[in-house]
């Protein structure tokens, strides 16, 4: 699960909050509080928060709010409750006290965006804060230092069909991460400053006219009192507000007690601070219409103003170009990925072949070593055999010499084979043949003579015993 998902948990909205929203006309029958721990809104439903709704948000949303979300690249759940109230006050200021529609040029002169993060956490829910620029003198809104537990009070609101989809809230995307854009710090151009200088002067006048100082709390109390949500798409601007019968009202008037309780909840007014019952400057309405010169000036300002729609159109063109580049990059990336996979496959096959070749080399090396060992053993055996044959040859030659000396008989081979051992054996065979023949003749002669010399003895069975008989002392 992504780190952003861990911020969500099962919604916990008290009965007191439910009753308050019903009283304010913010809770419809089709709105839903689910048992889910992570938002998954049905079709035509959007994710919202109790503390957003009581600060002026309702569906379908005002086109200026939708434009801000588009230009800044954020979603509603990424804005803090105080940021929602900033936008509500700005729209009310423009329509009720300046007599102009809310516009991007004036907004840029006053506000910028900042990332909402603490030392220990970086938020996605309420991760963006709308801030007044440090060089701008703006109304003291008296925001509370923090809005406790607001992230746990989420619900689904049914988005009523609008005449144009431009009023619809962007579908909830819990995976959308906050990406800082250059538009967060976008400053008013010289043309914007020139077109809005009269409005800035009027704001300073509203703040500083003695006895008629307008405050952020007065503006907040006004839109809560008249029961019109500034951030809701409306048929008519607030300068045409027609009182209790106005078509944009969500509910009947609140009691003084309920109104005071609500104002104290969304501000840091304590029990000792008075809650304004009216504005020190009368807002424009059907009973206090815009003066004719101001209407003409409004048309002039509108003709000079380069608003967020033009900015959005340019941004859309740039976004389309970026999408085309992204598509091209994706295509190249896919091709690169295919090439990479092919290269990996080739490399894998090459590695397998290399491993196989390496194994074969190892087998060859092992066979070569075994062959060398066998050759070494064979050489040792040959050396031993040669030494043995040489010893045998010496003994045979010695025997031949003794035989030649004893028999006084020598031989010459008729067909020598030039093999010393075989030729020596041939000599030995010749001598043996002669010796066998001589022994046979001697045995025959001694056998003939034996009866004469040893008439009383039995003739020995062997030649050696017969010969020994003639060499014995019995002949003496």
DSSP string, 268-321: ---TTSPPPSS-SSPPPSSSSPPPHHHHHHHHHHHHH---HHHHHHHHHHHHHH
Domain C-terminal end among 263, 279, 306: 306
237 lies in a domain? yes
Could you list the pLDDT tens digit for every one of the 476 residues in the chain? 444 445 788 999 999 999 999 999 998 766 667 778 899 888 888 899 999 999 999 989 999 999 999 999 999 999 999 999 999 999 999 999 999 999 899 999 999 999 987 767 778 899 999 999 999 999 988 888 888 899 999 999 888 655 555 557 778 888 888 999 999 999 999 999 999 999 999 999 999 988 889 999 999 999 999 999 999 999 899 999 999 999 999 999 999 999 999 999 999 888 888 888 889 999 999 999 988 655 555 545 544 433 445 555 565 666 677 677 767 777 887 887 888 888 888 888 888 888 888 888 888 888 888 888 888 988 999 898 888 888 887 887 787 787 777 777 676 766 777 777 777 777 777 777 777 888 888 888 888 888 888 888 888 888 888 888 888 765 55
* Rounded distance between C-alpha atoms, residue 22 and residue 38, angstroms: 24
Instruction: Using the 3D structure, point to which of 269, 285, 306 is the last residue of a domain.
Output: 306
What is the rounded CA–CA span in Å between residue 95 and residue 102? 7
**Same-domain pairing of 124 and 261:** yes
Domain membership of residue 275 (yes or no) is yes
Show which of 306, 327, 347 is a domain's final residue.
306
- Residue 414 resides in a domain: no
Q: Answer whether 229's CB lies under 8 Å from 89's CB.
A: no
Name the helix (H) or strand (E) containing 429.
Answer: helix 420-453
Alpha helices in 74-215 (DSSP H): 81-92, 104-110, 190-208
Rg of the chain over all Cα atoms, to the nearest angstrom: 59
Burial class (CB in 10 A: 0-12, 13-18, 19+), 469: middle
- Report yes or no on 382 lying in a domain: no
pLDDT value at residue 309: 52
For residue 345, give both structure tokens: 């496959």
Flag whether 435 is in a domain: yes
Give the number of residues written for the chain: 476
Residue 68: inside a domain: yes
Range of the domain at 46: 4-306
Asked if 284 and 154 sit in the same domain, the reply is yes
Any domain includes 60: yes
Query: Quick count: other Cβ atoms within 10 Å of Cβ 106?
Result: 26
- How many domains is the chain partitioned into structurally? 2
Residues 387 and 196: their CA atoms lie apart, in Å, by 121
Q: Is 92 inside any structural domain? A: yes
Give yes or no: residues 301 and 427 share one domain.
Answer: no
The Cα–Cα gap between 377 and 216 comes to 107
């Amino acid at each position: 699960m992504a780190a952003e998902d861990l911020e969500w948990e099962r919604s916990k909205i008290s009965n007191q909050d439910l009753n308050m929203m019903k009283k304010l006309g913010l809770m419809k029958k089709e709105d839903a509080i689910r048992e889910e721990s992570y938002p998954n809104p049905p079709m035509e439903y959007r994710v919202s928060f109790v503390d957003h709704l009581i600060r002026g948000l309702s569906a379908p949303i005002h086109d200026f709010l939708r434009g801000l979300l588009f230009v800044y690249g954020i979603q509603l759940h990424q804005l803090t409750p105080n940021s929602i109230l900033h936008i509500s006050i700005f729209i009310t200021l423009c329509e009720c006290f300046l007599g102009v529609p809310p516009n991007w040029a004036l907004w840029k002169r006053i506000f910028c965006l900042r990332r909402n993060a603490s030392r220990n956490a970086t938020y996605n829910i309420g991760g963006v804060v709308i801030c007044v620029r440090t060089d701008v003198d703006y109304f003291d809104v008296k925001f509370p230092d923090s809005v406790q537990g607001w992230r746990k009070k989420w619900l689904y609101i049914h988005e009523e069909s609008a005449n144009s989809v431009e009023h619809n809230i962007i579908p909830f995307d819990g995976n959308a991460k906050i990406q800082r854009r250059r538009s967060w710090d976008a400053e008013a151009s010289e043309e914007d400053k020139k077109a809005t200088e009269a409005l800035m002067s009027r704001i300073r006048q509203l703040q500083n006219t003695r006895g008629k100082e307008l405050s952020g709390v007065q503006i907040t109390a006004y839109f809560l009192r008249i029961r019109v949500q500034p951030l809701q798409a409306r048929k008519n601007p607030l300068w045409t507000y027609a009182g209790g019968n106005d078509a944009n009202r969500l509910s009947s008037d609140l009691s003084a007690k309920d109104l005071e309780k609500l104002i104290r909840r969304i501000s840091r007014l304590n029990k000792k601070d008075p809650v304004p019952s009216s504005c020190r400057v009368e807002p424009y309405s059907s009973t206090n219409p815009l003066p004719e010169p101001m209407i003409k000036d409004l048309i002039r300002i509108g003709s000079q103003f380069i608003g967020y729609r033009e900015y959005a159109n340019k941004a859309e063109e740039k976004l389309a170009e970026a999408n085309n580049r992204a598509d091209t990059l994706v295509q190249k990336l896919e091709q690169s990925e295919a090439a990479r996979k092919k290269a990996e496959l080739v490399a894998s096959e090459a590695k397998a072949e290399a491993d196989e070749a390496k194994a074969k080399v190892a087998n060859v090396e092992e066979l070569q070593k075994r062959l060398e060992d066998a050759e070494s053993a064979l050489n040792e055996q040959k050396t031993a055999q040669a030494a043995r044959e040489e010893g045998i040859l010496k003994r045979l030659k010695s025997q031949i010499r003794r035989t030649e000396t004893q028999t006084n008989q020598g031989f010459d081979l008729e067909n020598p084979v030039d093999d010393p051992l075989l030729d020596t054996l041939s000599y030995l065979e010749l001598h043996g043949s002669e010796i066998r023949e001589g022994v046979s003749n001697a045995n025959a002669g001694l056998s003939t003579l034996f009866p004469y010399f040893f008439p009383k003895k039995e003739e020995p069975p062997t030649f050696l015993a017969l010969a020994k008989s003639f060499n014995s002392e019995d002949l003496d």
